Each structure stands twice: as structure tokens, then as C-alpha cells.
């Protein structure tokens, strides 16, 4: 029930845009967005290698074809653009998706929302209970995985320790007092 000090506490309707998403009595404990920086992860090099091949081959093609005809060498631009896309996609695309992602932790679940052009809006929720596996993944900033899946995560969040403490509290049934939570 809402009180004068925290008028939104316990009322899903009072969270703008959350009508029909939050259950009755469910309250938001934390909201945030991931770090948006471009990152090069260890597996990105193997994903980018075909793009490097395409770029090198298309540049070679264009150079050799230009000796015969400039118009003929322009055919290689198509492959050059494909190669550049494949080369940059492993680092740029995850950063772009993070820039279009929002995280919410309620007293019952973790919610990951994304809004990506062409793909559209997506809202995925992961229930949090005493049996949900939780993992703090070291990084700058750290990430929190829940449910044992790489997809079920709050990635690269600056407040990871605070959010982890909230999740552990949910698992123990010890929710923060209303004056302690910060939606």
C-alpha cells in the first residue's frame, strides 16, 4: 500500500509506462542501463576473421581490376562493405544493443527491455526466487547473470554490487525498507 512518503510504493499503476506489466503489489527496486562502450571480447577476433578476409580479398580484387577498368573494379565495393560489416559487427552490434537496453529489478523478477529498430520492442522477465542461480561476472563494470544463461543478465552495470545485494535480499525474503530502495 502506498504511503505519503512513497506514493508509488506497491502500486503498479503509479509507475509510468508499467501498467499491465507489473503485478499487483509488485514494486520496482532498481532501474538502470548497461555501459554503452564498445568492447572487444576474446571471442570477437574469431567472429571478425571472415570479415578481415573479405576486406583483404576485395581490396586485392579492386586493385587488380582497376588495371583493366575502373568500372569493373567498383564491383569489389559490394564485397568491401560486406567485409567491413563482418569485421566490425562483433564489437559494434553488442554496444548498440546495450545502448538500446534497460534493466529493471522488482521484488519478484528481473526485467530486460530492448528497443531495437527493425526488431522492435522486447521485454523479457526472469523470476527471482531462492533457487535462482546468481553469478557476479567480473568486468569493468561487472555483470550479473541469473538463471544460468548468458542471455539472462544485467550486463556491464556500474551498480552491480548494489543490485546483487538486492537480488540476494529477494532470495532470502528480506526486501529493503521503502526508504532504502531507489527506483
The answer, yes or no, to whether residue 70 has pLDDT greater than 80, is yes
**Quick one: pLDDT at residue 142?**
93
**Quick one: pLDDT at residue 12?**
47
Q: pLDDT above 70 covers what percent of the chain?
A: 85
Question: 126: helix, coil or strand?
Answer: strand
Q: Quick one: average pLDDT of 84-90?
A: 88
The answer, yes or no, to whether residue 159 has pLDDT greater than 50, is yes
Q: What would the grid cell of residue 28 be?
A: 520496482
Taking only the tens place, the pLDDT of each residue in 116-125 is 998 888 999 9
Cβ-contact 170, 128 below 8 angstroms: yes
Question: 179: helix, coil or strand?
Answer: coil
pTM above 0.95, yes or no: no
Quick one: which of 31, 3, 29, 8 has its CA closest to 19?
8
Q: Quick one: average pLDDT of 3-24?
A: 56
Domain ranges of the chain: 44-96, 101-175
Between CA 130 and CA 169 the distance in angstroms is 10
Amino acid at each position: 500500500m502506498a504511503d505519503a512518503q512513497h506514493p508509488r510504493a506497491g502500486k503498479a499503476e503509479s509507475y509510468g509506462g508499467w501498467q499491465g506489466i507489473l503485478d499487483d503489489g509488485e514494486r520496482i527496486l532498481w532501474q538502470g542501463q548497461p555501459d554503452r562502450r564498445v568492447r572487444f571480447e576474446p571471442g570477437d577476433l574469431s567472429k571478425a576473421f571472415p570479415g578481415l578476409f573479405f576486406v583483404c580479398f576485395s581490396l586485392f580484387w579492386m586493385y587488380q581490376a582497376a588495371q583493366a577498368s575502373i568500372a569493373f573494379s567498383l564491383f569489389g565495393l559490394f564485397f568491401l562493405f560486406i567485409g567491413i560489416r563482418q569485421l566490425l559487427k562483433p564489437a559494434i552490434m553488442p554496444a548498440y544493443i546495450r545502448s538500446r537496453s534497460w534493466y529493471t529489478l522488482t521484488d519478484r523478477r528481473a526485467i530486460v527491455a530492448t528497443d531495437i529498430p527493425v526488431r522492435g520492442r522486447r521485454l523479457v522477465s526472469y523470476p527471482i526466487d531462492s533457487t535462482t542461480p546468481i553469478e557476479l561476472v567480473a568486468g569493468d563494470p561487472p555483470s550479473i547473470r541469473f538463471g544460468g544463461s548468458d542471455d539472462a543478465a544485467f550486463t556491464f552495470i556500474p551498480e552491480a554490487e548494489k543490485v546483487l545485494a538486492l537480488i540476494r535480499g529477494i532470495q532470502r525474503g528480506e526486501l529493503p525498507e521503502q526508504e532504502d530502495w531507489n527506483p
